[in-house]
Structure 1
């Protein structure tokens, strides 16, 4: 595990953006990258988009979402896809043929599909204050799971209801690449900012592997880079 502590969000955005751009330029053949939605990567995508847009050097890059919250409205593309389009895919003018949408219809084929195109070269991950990553929340997936459908009822349904203004659209499941699928990627880059992530980062960096803290499994990956600001690293650095 490589740990990089930055002073602020701007440093994180630029460092992460340059790391991803460098990876995208590292091969002339196909590059496969899974990217995250959420609030943390917004600045990363703002940094990357104008550098990617209209640049033929990046036409070999294919993108994947690693989780999706659908809707009871079949015409709605999904929370993750909507956010990725707004934050990165549209500003960077990524061709639709180069974004591969994981959803409730194709998730059972996801892992074999990724293997067939050479695997994921990298995944950009965030981390929740409860130590979740992707859609792997505490108590929802097992470490040996590949891409799965997670039933969302009761408290789990409440967790995703905040993504919807109209509560009648809240689904009773979400889709996520499980721990086994994530660990199969060649490189993992995890980013975190803010003191609310400090406990989760401590469990990732210093704690034991524990299914109560889902992201703790990521420390076993052979090529994990953690980029976090000082506030997120405060427990680790005590």
Structure 2
């Protein structure tokens, strides 16, 4: 696991955008794993800028989403498919048909998870997975005590999660779905490169526990310690409780440029 400490989230956006651009230059048909939420927005904004100003193309790429609410109508603006289109995919030349998410309207929700994992495998697996860490260490909707080997599956949203997400539903928690389909930690761990972002002092404890603490289902993102190619990018506030910041900075400064991210 490589830990990179940046001054500002936009610096993280540039670093991850460099990695995505390098990947697409090598493999124009690369498979990207996309997260929703505010954390990855600096990455998406920088990728959009490079598409518009520098010609970075996603025309042959494919993308898989981390999760999706269950039961929201196909035209609901808060479906994660709609959110990622607003935030990123609809702002570049990525074919809408090449953007796939879990089927939150599936008649058979138990079968929808394995079907999604199969679709990822059939696409050749995710080359670069973008992730955001929650304040309790969750990844996607894998909340504390989720199995470290879990697969894409139906999950019940906790009252806290629903309350946190009520702001996207006019502040009405009753409008927030009670269930979701989410990639499991085992599914996420199969990505070739996992890039986890965390910004702000509110993420500091989770970053410390997941980066320097024991691997435990109590802190789901700690599973990335066992990933063969995981990168954690945090700002100074999110890195505030880390014990080895000098080491992380020295490694970053001494890293050969040819290694990339």
The two structures have a TM-score, normalised by structure 2, of 0.82
Shift of 1:116: 1.4
> Retained in 2: the 8 A contact 1:127–1:215?
yes
Does residue 143 in structure 1 map to residue 142 in structure 2? no
Structure 1 CA distance for aligned equivalents of residues 50 and 72 of structure 2? 36
Alignment of 1:151-230 (within 5 A): 151-152=156-157, 154-155=159-160, 157-165=162-170, 166-230=172-236
> Retained in 1: the 8 A contact 2:114–2:151?
no
> Retained in 1: the 8 A contact 2:57–2:93?
no
> Retained in 1: the 8 A contact 2:132–2:198?
yes
> Retained in 2: the 8 A contact 1:69–1:171?
yes
> Which position in structure 2 is the counterpart of 1:48?
47
Alignment of 1:1-238 (within 5 A): 1-28=1-28, 30-53=29-52, 55=55, 57-73=57-73, 75-76=75-76, 78-104=78-104, 105=106, 106-139=112-145, 141-152=146-157, 154-155=159-160, 157-165=162-170, 166-237=172-243
- Whose helix proportion is higher, 1 or 2? 2
Corresponding pairs, count: 236
State the Cα RMSD in Å: 2.2
Shift of 1:159: 4.6
> Retained in 1: the 8 A contact 2:58–2:93?
no
Structure 2 CA distance for aligned equivalents of residues 7 and 156 of structure 1? 29
Shift of 1:154: 4.8
Structure 1 residues 197, 157: CA separation in 2 closer, same or farther (over 3 Å shift)? closer
> Retained in 2: the 8 A contact 1:70–1:77?
no
Structure 1 residues 81, 12: CA separation in 2 closer, same or farther (over 3 Å shift)? same
Structure 1 CA distance for aligned equivalents of residues 204 and 174 of structure 2? 35
Structure 1 residues 82, 154: CA separation in 2 closer, same or farther (over 3 Å shift)? same
Shift of 1:237: 3.8
Structure 2 CA distance for aligned equivalents of residues 147 and 135 of structure 1? 10
Structure 1 residues 231, 107: CA separation in 2 closer, same or farther (over 3 Å shift)? same
> Retained in 2: the 8 A contact 1:71–1:171?
yes
Structure 1 residues 191, 102: CA separation in 2 closer, same or farther (over 3 Å shift)? same
Structure 1 CA distance for aligned equivalents of residues 173 and 203 of structure 2? 28
1:133-185 superposed Cα distances (whole Å, 9 cap, x missing partner): 1111113x311211011023655544544432254532221110001100111
